[in-house]
A and B are shown apart, each in its own frame.
Chain A
Amino acid sequence: MSPESRAGLLFVAPALLVILVFFFVPVIAGFALSLTDFDLYTIGDPNNLRFLAFRNYGELLGSGIFWTAFINTLYFALVGGPLTVAVSLGAALLVNAKLTRWKSLFRTVYFAPVVTTLVAVAIVFKYLYHPRFGILNRALEAVGIPGVDWLGNPKLAMLAIIILAVWRGFGYTMIIFIAGLQNIPEELYEAARIDGAGWWKQFRHITLPMLGPTFLFVGIVVAIGQMQIFAEPYVMTRGGPLNKTLSLVMLMYEQGFKFWRMGYAAAVAFILFLLIGGATLLQMRLQEKR
């Protein structure tokens, strides 16, 4: 072996070892786990382990609580995802506009929530949402809109969590959109202006199509992130009211680490994986078509 290739192997070894042992092996073991009845008794005595084939999945698909968590997660991703993309694209267009001054200041301000600790800001929002003392309801009432019980109302709780997620997340995708916008050649806009195209036409026929690859990247990143929602409901609602904010990851956490039904919880985790993989493929396919 040449010194170069020996060095190459040695250089990748530590990272590969960590990633293999503490990521890939657990992921594969997770699938194996989901085919068993691994629970508290198995932790005590491994001889209690039984192979169930796909029975955990069968049980899941027949249980109401799983479908509740599944639909909640999808709702969070399908409403929160596009909302995040829309807000961040809007912010990117404003920050990147030619007339805008103090560009980097606005960029920094809008990005700041991204680096905050989710658990901490979830607690902050919980108080902002308080029906009686929360600033949000006070502000709404000041302009004549009656306040609501944001986190206590089953119809609104997930929406309240989505607002928090958009607030905390839009800065990241905004930065990616700004990078995409700056890659669009200025000549395209000049040519369009000479042809008399207005703002909307330029946006519709130059900006949007040229941002195509960026949309794909942003869509995948946001979808993967959104479907892993956990800390927000854990801190703000404990999955309530009426399980309306219970997410798949939360269901997995509760089944796996509170009730120690690890086989069952592993099946939940794998369905999440399929959901994320499916969403990623779907977006890539949609992108190819256009």
Chain B
Amino acid sequence: MSRRTESILLHAVLIAGAVVTLFPLFWMVSASVMTAGEATTLPPHIVPHAPTLAQYRELFLRLNIGRAFLSSAIVATVVTVGSVLFGSMAGYAFAKLRFRGRERTFGLLLIALVIPPQVGMLPLFLLMKQLHLVNTYWGAIIPSLATVFGVFLIRQFMLSVPQELIEAARIDGAGEWRIYWSVVLPLARPILATLATFMFMSTWNDFMWPLIILSDQAHYTLPVALASLSGEHVLDVELMMAGSVVTVLPVLALFVVLQRQYISGIMAGSVKG
């Protein structure tokens, strides 16, 4: 096989793969701007014959999906800020500050990486009930305010920060908080961005815990609201596709903007880990 045919074949397979990968997302967007009933005509329409935003109007004006959007935004934002702050503090300390029991504590933390979160969900619910946090945003937020993954990711990065930098700041008389905040954090910006992106996306997409802890529609996050809608509106294909677009678009857009950093963060994390 000549180099040229080889290259053509290779790219044909790659492009076919890309089409298959993108088609469900393309169809989701396309069906979301179809008129009611158009997605279930035969032969099927791949693109809308008369594009309309009617489904989005229905979603936002009558079904109040804006409320769920806001809930998702609040929960994901608070979790992101909290877990990046707490994760970076702990990750820095585990890598660079000497204190008793450091290695043992870190080793114990790592056990959490192989424990499925569902194992603790039943008692966690009972705990939240005791704390009167069932059906509140805090109930959805607090368990993710610090994650072992976040601590681990930041620690791996911090190990590469030169110790001399920290010692020099100490000699200059900077306090430990100052060193962390003004010397170390600026260096860690790329990994902080990776962790923030990761936490925002995974919290935005999270389904099971919000489903359990948020029982009242007024607090539903988007995935929970969408699952509940899909029960009532199973025949309204176009409406459900509009709901899916509203849910997926923010994270997909965030990914497209930050993809270079995000992907290289995952690569770095997996190689070192």
Which of the residues A33, A91, A115, A178 comes within 8 Å of B251, measured between beta carbons? A115
Nearest Cβ on chain A to B140's Cβ, whole angstroms: 12
Cross-chain contact B204 with A117 (CB below 8 angstroms): yes
A262 within 8 A of B: yes
Cross-chain contact A262 with B122 (CB below 8 angstroms): yes
A18 proximity list for chain B (CB < 8 A):
86, 142-143, 145-146
A277 proximity list for chain B (CB < 8 A):
114
Cross-chain contact A14 with B270 (CB below 8 angstroms): no
Which of the residues B6, B112, B176 comes within 8 Å of A23, measured between beta carbons? B112
Nearest Cβ on chain B to A16's Cβ, whole angstroms: 7
B3 proximity list for chain A (CB < 8 A):
99
A116 to B255, CA, bound (A): 10
Mark contacts of A41-58 with chain B using CB atoms, 8 A cut-off: 1 yes-contact digit, 0 otherwise.
001000000000000000
B212 proximity list for chain A (CB < 8 A):
253, 257
B42 proximity list for chain A (CB < 8 A):
132-133
Cross-chain contact A14 with B243 (CB below 8 angstroms): no
A99 to B255, CA, bound (A): 27
Cross-chain contact B99 with A9 (CB below 8 angstroms): yes
Cross-chain contact A30 with B122 (CB below 8 angstroms): yes
Which of B122, B147, B244 has the largest count of A CB atoms less than 10 A from its CB?
B122
B201 proximity list for chain A (CB < 8 A):
115
Cross-chain contact B266 with A116 (CB below 8 angstroms): no
B107 within 8 A of A: no
Interface size classification for chain B:
35 or more
Which of the residues B100, B176, B241 comes within 8 Å of A3, measured between beta carbons? B176
With A123-B244, A138-B43 as contacts: A30 and B271 at CB distance below 8 Å: no
**Which residues in window 218-267 of A have CB below 8 A to B?**
220, 224, 227-228, 230-231, 234-235, 249, 252-253, 256-257, 262, 265-266
Cross-chain contact B44 with A135 (CB below 8 angstroms): yes
With A19-B112, A109-B21, A120-B244 as contacts: A26 and B223 at CB distance below 8 Å: no
B252 within 8 A of A: yes
Nearest Cβ on chain B to A279's Cβ, whole angstroms: 10
Cross-chain contact B226 with A100 (CB below 8 angstroms): no
Residues of B within 8 A of A (CB): 3, 6-7, 10-11, 13-14, 17-18, 21-25, 27-28, 31, 39-44, 46, 86-87, 89-90, 92-94, 97-100, 102, 105, 109, 112, 114-127, 129, 142-143, 145-148, 150-151, 176-177, 180, 201, 204-205, 207-208, 212, 222-224, 226-227, 230, 237, 240-241, 243-244, 247-248, 251-252, 254-256, 259-260, 263, 266-268, 270-271, 273
Q: List 5 A-B contacts (CB under 8 A).
A: A26-B121, A26-B122, A116-B248, A224-B116, A269-B121
Residues of A within 8 A of B (CB): 3-9, 11-12, 14-19, 21-27, 29-30, 33, 43, 91, 94-95, 97, 99-101, 104, 106-113, 115-121, 123-128, 130, 132-133, 135, 138, 167, 171-172, 175-176, 178-180, 183, 214, 217, 220, 224, 227-228, 230-231, 234-235, 249, 252-253, 256-257, 262, 265-266, 269-270, 272-273, 276-277, 280
- Apart from A18-B143, A113-B25, A128-B27, 15 more pairs, CB < 8 Å: A19-B147, A22-B127, A22-B145, A24-B112, A94-B17, A106-B17, A112-B255, A113-B21, A117-B222, A124-B25, A132-B42, A133-B44, A133-B237, A179-B271, A273-B116
Across the A-B interface, the 5 shortest Cβ-Cβ residue pairs: A26-B120, A8-B99, A7-B176, A8-B97, A11-B93
